């Protein structure tokens, strides 16, 4: 089964920090705005060190992620994702726009802060 995705939902118009610098804000082409805490993003790292490549099951224990984690650097990966260098020295996760949109914790989207986004 192929899941259709509205490209406006997963096309960022603006990516940057919130006014206080504590969260990442993404404004999407469909008008939605998402904000993410560093801890929530780190818990949702999709790399093979954090998620089993074969089963899709999480390997990373969220309890091992420091509450005060922060990105040392944020880089665009082509036109499809972001990559973070984390203060815990982890830097292998590539976060596609689809994952970031699915991880939105706003009241409208309702995804719980600190929970892992289910993989298809």
**Domain boundaries 12-102, CATH class:** alpha beta
CB 59 within 8 A of CB 46: no
118 burial type by CB count under 10 A (0-12 exposed, 13-18 middle, 19+ buried): exposed
What is the overall mean pLDDT for the chain? Answer: 92
Model confidence at 2, pLDDT cuts 50, 70, 90, reads: very low
CB atoms within 10 A of CB 11: 13
**Span 10-35, pLDDT tens digits:** 999 999 999 999 999 999 999 999 99
Q: Structural domain boundaries of the chain?
A: 12-102
Whole-angstrom CA distances from 105 to 1, 88, 89 are 27, 23, 25
Q: What one-character DSSP code corresponds to residue 75? A: E
pLDDT at 1: 39
pLDDT at 31: 95
């Amino acid at each position: 089964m192929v899941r259709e995705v509205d490209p406006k939902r997963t096309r960022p118009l603006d990516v940057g920090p919130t006014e206080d610098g504590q969260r990442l804000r993404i404004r999407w082409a469909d008008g939605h705005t998402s904000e993410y805490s560093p801890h929530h993003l780190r818990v949702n790292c999709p790399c093979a060190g954090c998620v089993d490549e074969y089963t899709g099951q999480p390997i990373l224990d969220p309890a091992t992620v420091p509450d005060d984690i922060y990105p040392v650097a944020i880089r665009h990966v082509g036109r499809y994702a972001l990559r973070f260098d984390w203060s815990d020295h982890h830097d292998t996760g590539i976060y596609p726009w689809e994952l970031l949109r699915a991880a939105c914790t706003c009241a409208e989207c309702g995804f719980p802060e600190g929970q892992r986004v289910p993989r298809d």
